[in-house]
Amino acid sequence: MAEISDLTQRPASSIALLEEMERTYKDLPMEAIVKQDILRQGIHFLPESFQVLTPYKSKDYFIFSFDHIPLADLKDGADTKAPEEIKISGGHFGLLKTVISTRNNPNSPYKMKLKEGVPTLFLDETEIGSAEYPPIPSWYRHKTKSGKLPGEIAPVIEWGYLIYLTVFRNCQYFGKDEECAYCDINHNYRQQKGAGRPYTGVKDVDDILEVFSWIDSEDEIAKVYTITGGSVLTNLKKKSEVDFYLQYPLAIEERFPKRWMGKLVAQAFEKEDCQKFKDAGIQIYHPNYEVWDKNLFEKICPGKASWIGYDRWIRRVVESAEVFGPENVIPNFVGGVELSEPHGFKTVGEAINSTKQGLDFFMSKGIVPRFTAWCPEPYTTLGQQAGPPLVYFCELLRAWKETFELYKLPVPPGYGEPGPGRAVFSVSAFMDVIGYSGRN
Ligand code: SF4
C-alpha cells in the first residue's frame, strides 16, 4: 500500500500527481485514475467550451445537483449549458474514450477550453484529452400531452444507456437529523424550482409511459431503466413506500414487457416486498448501504439508522439475494464519505480497511457492491469540504478489483460493457477497471 496514512496531505491535482499514481497503481488503467480525479475535483467549463457546432445534451439534474457550488452561483452559462457527461480521449496519457459525469466547479484545476473548435480538457497547461459531449436523443424533441419535456420525465445518462426515473424528487428523511449527510435531493429540488425550471416532484405514470412509447419506437441505445427517488416514511399520494414505487414497474412492464432491464434503487425491504418488485419485472435491486462502518452509518445516515437500523439494513440486503439472485443485488456505497469531517476516519488506510471489510462481506456472498464518488455538495449536512485525496480512490479501486477477482464474480449486469474505453458508468470508475490486466 502506498504511503497513505496522513490525510492532512491532500495534494492538489497535477500532472506530477497523476504520473505518480500511474507508477504506483500499475494494476489500474489510467482511464480509471484520471476519471476519479476529475470526479473528485469537478470541471470548470470556460464559456468558449460551449461554443460547439453540434447540439448536445446538457445536465438534466436527474436526481442530485452533483455540483460543487449552488446553481445560482454558476456563471458563464455553466448552469444551463454544462453537458451531462464528457467523453475524453487522447491527451497526455493517451486515454481511451472515457465517459465522466459532469460536476460543475469553477475552482477546479480541470478546465474545459476550446482548441481548434474542439472542447479539450486541460489540467494546468497540459492537455488531458479532447472531449465529446453526449448526443441529444431524437425523442427529446417531443412533449407529453401534459406539457412535460422528456428530459425532465425520463432523462438518459451513461451516454444514453440508462433511463433515469427519479419518480419522487424529495425525501421524507428531512433536515439534519434525518437526511443522509452527503445528500442534497431536497435542497436540489428547491434550487431547481427556485431557478424557475420545470422539475416535477412526483412523476405521473402516464407521463412516463408516453415518453417510453417514444423511446420504444425511436431509441436503440437505452437498455436499462432505473426507478428511484427519496424514501417514503409514512405515505405518498395515499400509498405506502412499497406500493408507491411498485406502481411504476407494474405499468412499464405491463405495457412494454422486458423491453428494457428494470432496476430499483430504494430502501432495503423485507423479502416479501422484494418479491413484489421481482414479480413486477424488476431485475436489479440496489438497496444502498452508503457506508460500511456501523458507527459512521449512524452518523451519516441518521434517518435510515433510526427508522430501519444498520443491522436490519444489512440483513435485508443479504436476504434480498434470495429473491433476485446475488448477482442482481448491487448495493451502492458513497466512495469517500467515510473520510468526511467531522466523524469520518482520519486516515486513508483506516477508511480503506473498513470499506474493504464491507466489500469482502458482500462479495463472499456473491453480492457485488458498487460505488459512486462522493461529491461534497454545498447544501448538504457535510457541506463543502476538500473530499478525499486521489490516493484514496486508487486504493478503493484496487480493493474493489482485488476482491471482485478473488471471488471470481461475474460482470455486474445492467452497466453495459466493462473495461477501459468501453465503460459508460460515469460516476465512478468501478466498471473501467474490470478485466484490466495491468501495465509494465
Ligand atoms: S435516503 Fe438518504 S440518500 Fe436517499 S434520498 Fe433520502 S436523504 Fe438522500
Would you say residue 399 has pLDDT above 60?
Answer: yes
Mean pLDDT over all residues of the chain? Answer: 96
Q: How confident is the model at residue 4 (pLDDT cuts 50, 70, 90)?
A: very low
Query: In the predicted model, what is the mean pLDDT of residues 134-149?
Result: 98
Residue pLDDT, tens place only, 25-73: 999 999 999 999 999 999 999 999 999 999 999 999 999 999 999 999 9
Residue 175 lies in a domain: no
Calculate how far, in angstroms, residue 174's C-alpha sits from the geometric centre of ligand 1.
Answer: 9
For ligand 1, atom 1, which residue shows the shortest CA distance?
Answer: 231
Q: Which helix (H) or strand (E) holds 299?
A: helix 294-300
CA–CA gap between residue 59 and residue 71 (Å, rounded): 12
CA–CA gap between residue 423 and residue 32 (Å, rounded): 10
Query: In the predicted model, what is the mean pLDDT of residues 211-233?
Result: 98
Would you say residue 9 has pLDDT above 60?
Answer: no
pLDDT, residue 12, reads 84
For ligand 1, atom 4, which residue shows the shortest CA distance?
Answer: 230
Residue 90 lies in a domain: yes
> Residues enclosing ligand 1, CB less than 6 A?
171, 173, 179-180, 183, 185, 230-231
pLDDT, residue 280, reads 98
Atom of ligand 1 nearest to the CA of 172: 6
Query: Which of 63, 168, 174, 180 has most ligand 1 atoms within 8 Å of its beta carbon, as the pocket-test mutant?
Result: 180
Query: In the predicted model, what is the mean pLDDT of residues 222-233?
Result: 98
Would you say residue 1 has pLDDT above 60?
Answer: no
Cell of 403: 476482491
Residue 408 lies in a domain: no
Would you say residue 179 has pLDDT above 90?
Answer: yes
Residue in the block written with cell 507508477: 23
Calculate how far, in angstroms, residue 351's C-alpha sits from the geometric centre of ligand 1.
Answer: 22
Going by DSSP bridges, is the β-strand pair 162-168/370-373 parallel, antiparallel, or unpaired? unpaired
CA–CA gap between residue 423 and residue 380 (Å, rounded): 29
Pick from 3, 5, 26, 20: nearest CA to 397: 26
pLDDT, residue 386, reads 87
Give the strands of the sheet with 118-123, arranged side by side: 44-45, 110-115, 118-123, 126-132, 85-90, 95-101
Residue 166 lies in a domain: no
Residue pLDDT, tens place only, 292-347: 999 999 999 999 999 999 999 999 999 999 999 999 999 999 999 999 999 999 99
For ligand 1, atom 8, which residue shows the shortest CA distance?
Answer: 183
Residue pLDDT, tens place only, 421-438: 999 999 999 999 999 999
pLDDT, residue 68, reads 94
Residue 298 lies in a domain: no
Atom of ligand 1 nearest to the CA of 183: 8
Would you say residue 351 has pLDDT above 70?
Answer: yes
Query: In the predicted model, what is the mean pLDDT of residues 108-122?
Result: 97
What range defines the domain where residue 70 resides? 15-132
Atom of ligand 1 nearest to the CA of 290: 3
CA–CA gap between residue 42 and residue 25 (Å, rounded): 22
Q: How confident is the model at residue 10 (pLDDT cuts 50, 70, 90)?
A: low
Atom of ligand 1 nearest to the CA of 304: 1
Residue 126 lies in a domain: yes
Cα→Cα distances 64→28, 70, 106, 246, 371, Å: 29, 12, 18, 22, 16
Residue 254 lies in a domain: no
pTM of this structure:
0.96
Residue 407 lies in a domain: no
CA–CA gap between residue 257 and residue 14 (Å, rounded): 49
Q: Please give the tally of structural domains in the chain.
A: 1
Pick from 300, 302, 306, 273: nearest CA to 287: 273
Backbone angles phi and psi of 72, in degrees to 5: -65, -20
Calculate how far, in angstroms, residue 55's C-alpha sits from the geometric centre of ligand 1.
Answer: 33
pLDDT, residue 322, reads 98
Query: In the predicted model, what is the mean pLDDT of residues 370-374?
Result: 97
Of all residues in the chain, the percent with pLDDT exceeding 70 is 98
Atom of ligand 1 nearest to the CA of 179: 7
Cell of 410: 461475474
CA–CA gap between residue 171 and residue 31 (Å, rounded): 34
Query: Which of 173, 267, 307 has most ligand 1 atoms within 8 Å of its beta carbon, as the pocket-test mutant?
Result: 173
Calculate how far, in angstroms, residue 288's C-alpha sits from the geometric centre of ligand 1.
Answer: 10
